[in-house]
Structure 1
Amino acid sequence: MSRNEIVGRCLVPGHASGDVVFTDVPLSFWMGIDTESGAIIDRHHPLCGTVVTGKIFVLPGARGSCSGSCGLLELIHNDKAPAALVFAEDEAILTMGAMIGGEIFGKTIPIAAVDSESFARLAEQKSLTVDNGRVAVGRVESKGEIPTPTRRVNLTASDQAMLEGAEGKARQVAMRVIARFAEVQGVTELIDVGQAHIDCCFYTGPAGLGFAEQLNAWGGKVKVPATTNATSVDTLLWRRGGVEASFGEISQRVIAAYTGIGVRPSFTCAPYLLESAPGFGQQIAWGESNAVAYANSVLGARTMKYPDYLDILVALTGRAPLMASHTAAGRQATVRIDVPDLGITDDSFHPLLGYHVGLIAGSDIPVVTGLADAPPSRDDLKAFSAAFATTAGAPMFHIAGVTPEAETVEQALGDKIPERHVVLTRADLLQSWRELNTATDPAVELVSLGNPHFSRDELGRAAALCSGKTKAAGVDLVITCGRDIYREADQAGLVDELKRFGANILNDTCWCMIFEPMLPRETRRLMTNSAKFAHYGPGITRREMHFASLEACIAAACSGRNPGDPPDWLRG
């Protein structure tokens, strides 16, 4: 093989040449890239502002949101996608977006994966050609050879019947994509799953809407119980909530498409708070990155980090590739991260820690030590999961002495010796605190809570902090939660207490989907207790962000200001 040619793995076939954009930092294609311009908008990424349209985009892989597949599909539909993608791993999320583009719309881009040594070499190149898995320096002609998968997936008689169309067009297409996806990932077996959580139930653009309505037009119906993720609007109140009529109506079309397929309209990004939450060891197919991390890590259920679109295809068939965290071997930790004793902390500690652990872990599953003596609560683990899933590509984590598959460090590691052993310092966490606090002025015009959706206990704590206090006239306080949790909180009197303070509580939608005019144009600085939203917020809202504890957020809602100083436990 010539030094100017690399024979990689063909994830999506095709031929493209172009100038190179290279990064060694993973990127989320949802909330990390503008699907209408092709520009990177993740303010924490070194290539922020770079336009990747028409380029050969070389990056280690995706991180963060399961909706990266939606982002790539919309880029392809809008003719703003990279000419090709080259990864340092058999990436799944973006691969699915390109597969759906080809399957449903006849329009896709080539994707290849290369080994780590070859990936490093590509940093030096100015132009590349991607040709059915082959990566060549410069611009060269296609050899026209599409490699066949090295492993074929084993299909049962029932699988084969679906593939041949015996159960309708929707299940036929779903099984075809699932089998193809399994083969390019090197998987030979499919398994039954007991439930699914569908992440792409919000308006991502015309391509995502077209996909959902096509499945519905084909008569698709889910085979296993499935729930909806948060959607684009409060489905009950959007007409009087400042939402443009055209956007509200098109969001309703997305909802109608998925509920028409048989997906339960739960509209929450925290499905682990529902009565239908899975049990330990149950095989499931969940989208939504924070929910995947929580289900795997805290509940001990088994799901891979399902790309949007693959989740609904699995729900249609009840069948999933036996890969990654569906297997015992795929759940073992390979990185050990020791956390120092920081004394008494506040509730910003766990989201901050999850954010930093995700940065360290990348695509590797970590086991975190040092938390067992002061075990995190369920809500602490929820905040940790969301932050971890924002910066990591891995589907789960372990916390020694806390999570169910890590009674000890040794249990989490299995028969492995950690490939890396990292000892965190207070200074490390302080650095991440500063990265999340992008506001340059102490003023706060809006306090945003509920990313992920607030639990009943979180609503209770917020109500207690608001009791007897008055919200500042120039500050909005907006909380998002699922409709099931809202009903519980309303019956307990918490909703009335929060509304007396002046809070606005939204159902069904969440902060990753709230834009103008729901977000007032005059609002320049937001404050949140969510490390996930503090990370994505600057890019998706074009606003500055304050990040701190829930108590500090309520205090800012009363004063309209946040001093911005790190808490005492972080300064030492």
Structure 2
Amino acid sequence: MMIKLTDIEKKVLQGDSGRLQQKALENIISYAEALGAEELCKVTKATLGLGAQPYLNHIQSDDYNKIFSRVYMCTDEVLDISHNKFSASCFCMTCTENCDTEDYEEVGLTQEYFDKNGRFLEFARAAGVSMASTCAPYLLGWLPLKGEHFVTTESSNAMFCNSLLGACGNPDGVEAAAWSAICGRTPKWGLHCAENRYATHEFKIQCPAQSATDWDLIGYTIGRMLPAGGIPVITGDFDYPTTVEVKQLFASIATTSGAVMCHILGMTPEGQTMAMATGGHGVKESFQVSEEEYRKSLNVLCDAAPGPVDFISLGCPHYTLEEIRDVADYLCDKKIMAGVRLYIWTAYPLKEMARASGYLSIIENAGGRIMTSSCPIMVGESIMKNSRGVALDGAKQAHYIRSMTDVPVYFGDKYRCLDTALTGKWDLR
């Protein structure tokens, strides 16, 4: 299939913008042909999985240009990214990394790995990528608007931007996202096309929907029940979720399904009415998110028996400043039990805002830590070494951490997790 190219794209393909952009566009065209796309669309926002990711170790070299060329660009030709800027029309940010920006020892990593990560990110910085290192870039001003096309390596980010902002994008692998960031184009397919954005299945909420934890469990349940390839529309008698609640909802839907778009009837821009959400076609099937299904999800995520806990992790996706404030207010004049670790994960600009607001000092005085740029899922098993029990306030984190540890895993709201940090035990309620 011949891909229809614009005059600008033809010039890039001819090498007018340099070999790096030329190779990226060659890859995007091959990608489009494999997908059956007939044309490309202009990408103006991208988040990229860069830094010293573990899979890069398969390339036996310390030359990042060689590593980037082999893994990201899929070529034996060594392309120098340090002297080649990514597309000027595409605003690029880094996604989460495998270590905290400042503290490698706390999470069980070596200085060698920490230094390598910084060195690799320096290449990206030189190529024009902004350092953000977060799974929630929309909290930092990375905000593709309605009709704007983006690429991202983070499924929860794709869900948030497609659903709440009305932007258009698919979650891509690290390679395809890099190609798009470099040449500013992606295949016009999937959710880049209006006809693929309509709801296919209705989910009627008949369970609690009053907190971030409720919406996290609702999302986890919807993802469990959603047929493959479906796009949900949420209906029912509930107050519209807040930004924090929507953040949790969308992350957990993406965790238990392949969906990266969700309509909330009357709230999201493409779901103001049922006819609008479904394109006038109606839904294929309706489901009830009952209290029974809600409890079933909770039982999957949270071990039943009480027990000792010495590892508490809050912030999946990364915490907002509002959530950090809530933790600081709750911990004020309290002390975390000796031997218990409490981590709050966020983006490092938000950590600085927490510092300026006085929240950081309160949390640290209580014995907690605000960590940045990563999370236990990204860091890996080293962060939970020798833990006796784990407590989490994010369904996505609880879902994935079960495969990383043999100790009990507990899921609940941030206040229950904070109580656990104060007592060192998950109690029945």
What amino acid is the match of 2:86? V
Give the distance between the partners of 1:213 and 1:244, measured in 2 at CA.
26
Is structure 2 residue 389 aligned with structure 1 residue 501?
no
The partner residue of 1:217 within 70, 73, 80 is 80
Please tell me whether the aligned partners of residues 319 and 344 of structure 2 are also in contact (alpha carbons under 8 angstroms).
yes
What's the counterpart of residue 30 of structure 2?
Answer: 180
Alpha-carbon offset, residue 541 of structure 1: 4.3
Q: Which amino acid aligns with 2:203?
A: I
Q: Are residue 325 (structure 1) and residue 191 (structure 2) matched? A: yes
Equivalence for 2:76 = none
Paired with 1:521 and 1:307, the residues of 2 have a C-alpha distance of 29
Q: Would the alpha carbon gap of residues 304 and 164 (structure 1) be closer, same or farther in structure 2, given more than 3 Å must change?
A: same
Q: Tell me the CA shift for residue 520 of structure 1.
A: 4.6
Distance across 2 between alignment mates of 1:459 and 1:467:
12
Mapping of residues 24-103 of structure 1, within 5 Å = none
Unaligned stretches of 5+ residues in structure 1 = 1-150, 566-572
Q: Indicate conservation of the 8 Å contact 1:537/1:543, yes or no.
A: no
Distance in structure 2 (CA, Å) of the matches to 1:211 and 1:161: 27
Given that 1:212 and 1:254 are in contact with CA atoms closer than 8 Å, whether structure 2 keeps it comes out as: no
Q: Give yes or no for the alignment of 1:162 onto 2:12.
A: yes
Tell me if structure 2 keeps the 8 A contact 1:202–1:230.
Answer: no
Partner of 1:450: 315
The answer to whether the aligner puts 1:311 opposite 2:177 as a matched pair is yes
- Contact kept, 8 Å, 1:443 with 1:561, in 2: the verdict is yes
C-alpha deviation, 1:409, in angstroms:
2.3
Q: Distance in 1 between matches of 2:161 and 2:14?
A: 33
Query: Structure 1, residues 288-325: CA drift from partner, whole Å, max 9, x if none?
Result: 11111111111221112222211111010111111111
Whether 2:231 is the aligned partner of 1:365: answer yes
Q: Is the 8 A contact 2:107 2:379 kept in 1?
A: no
Deviations 1:152-193 (A, max 9, x none): 211223323333333333222211111111111111011112
Residue aligned with 1:395, SS: coil
**2:159 touches 2:261 (CA, 8 Å); kept in 1?**
yes
Higher relative contact order (CA 8 A, sep 6+): 2
Partners of 1:197 and 1:228 within 8 A in 2: yes
The within-5 A match list for 1:528-543 is 528-543=392-407
Partner of 2:278: 413
Q: Is the 8 A contact 2:331 2:363 kept in 1?
A: yes
Which of 387, 406, 423 is the matching residue for 1:559? 423
State how far apart, in whole Å, the 2-side matches of 1:291 and 1:260 are.
25
Give the stretch that moved more between structures: 233-242 or 175-184: 233-242
- Residues 253-402 of structure 1 mapped to structure 2, 5 A cutoff: 253-342=119-208, 345-361=210-226, 362-370=228-236, 373-402=238-267
Query: What's the CA shift string for 1:34-80, capped at 9, x where partnerless?
Result: xxxxxxxxxxxxxxxxxxxxxxxxxxxxxxxxxxxxxxxxxxxxxxx
CA distance in 2, matches of 1:212, 1:439: 45
Aligned-partner residue type, residue 194 of structure 1: T
| C-alpha separation in 2, matches of 1:231 and 1:241 | 13
Q: Does 1:404 align with 2:269?
A: yes
State the distance in 2 between where 1:438 and 1:474 align: 22
CA contact (8 A) 1:201 1:230 kept: no
Partner of 1:463: 328
Aligned length: 412
What is the match of residue 128 of structure 1?
Answer: none
Q: TM-score, normalised by structure 1?
A: 0.68
Name the SS for the 1:470 alignment partner.
Answer: coil
Determine the C-alpha separation between the residues in 1 that align with 2:312 and 2:263. Answer: 31
**CA–CA distance in 1 between the matches of 2:410 and 2:202?**
30
Question: What CA distance in whole angstroms lies between the structure 1 residues aligned with 2:132 and 2:392?
Answer: 24
Matches of 1:506 and 1:540, distance apart in 2: 20
Which whole-Å CA distance do the structure 2 matches of 1:404 and 1:281 have between them?
A: 11
Contact 1:515 1:541 in 2 (8 A): no
* Structure 1 pair 507–250 and aligned structure 2 pair: CA distance change class (3 A): same
8 A contact 1:483–1:508 mirrored in 2 = yes
Q: Matched residues in 1 for 2:418 and 2:359: separation?
A: 15
Indicate if the aligned counterparts of 2:93 and 2:130 stay in contact, CA closer than 8 A.
Answer: yes
Opposite residue 351 of structure 2, the aligned amino acid is Y
Please provide the CA RMSD for this pair.
2.1
Unaligned runs of 5+ in 2: 74-78
Match of 2:390, as an amino acid?
L
TM-score, with normalisation over the residues of structure 2?
0.90
Q: Could you tell me whether the CA contact under 8 Å between 1:347 and 1:550 is conserved in 2? A: no
Distance 2:34 2:185 in 1: 17
Give the direction of change, closer, same or farther, for the CA distance of 1:241–1:305 in structure 2 (3 Å limit). Answer: closer
CA contact 1:286–1:304 (8 Å) conserved in 2:
yes
Task: Indicate the larger mover: 348-357 or 277-286.
Answer: 277-286
Question: Structure 1 residue 346: deviation in Å?
Answer: 3.9
Of 331, 341, 350 in structure 2, the residue corresponding to residue 476 of structure 1 is 341
Residues 1:486 and 1:382: Cα distance change in structure 2 (over 3 Å): same
Question: Given residue 419 of structure 2, which amino acid in structure 1 is its aligned partner?
Answer: A
Q: Distance in 1 between matches of 2:128 and 2:13?
A: 21
Residue of 97, 105, 111 corresponding to 1:245: 111
Q: Output the amino acid matched with 2:45.
A: Q
Please state how far the C-alpha of 1:490 moved relative to its aligned partner: 1.3
* Residue in structure 1 matched with residue 287 of structure 2 by the alignment: 422
In structure 2, the residue corresponding to 1:368 is in which secondary structure?
strand
Question: 2:354 maps to which residue?
Answer: 489
Aligned residues of 1:480 and 1:511 also touching (Cα < 8 A): no
Following superposition, the deviation at residue 334 of structure 1 comes to: 0.6
**1:530 Cα shift?**
0.4
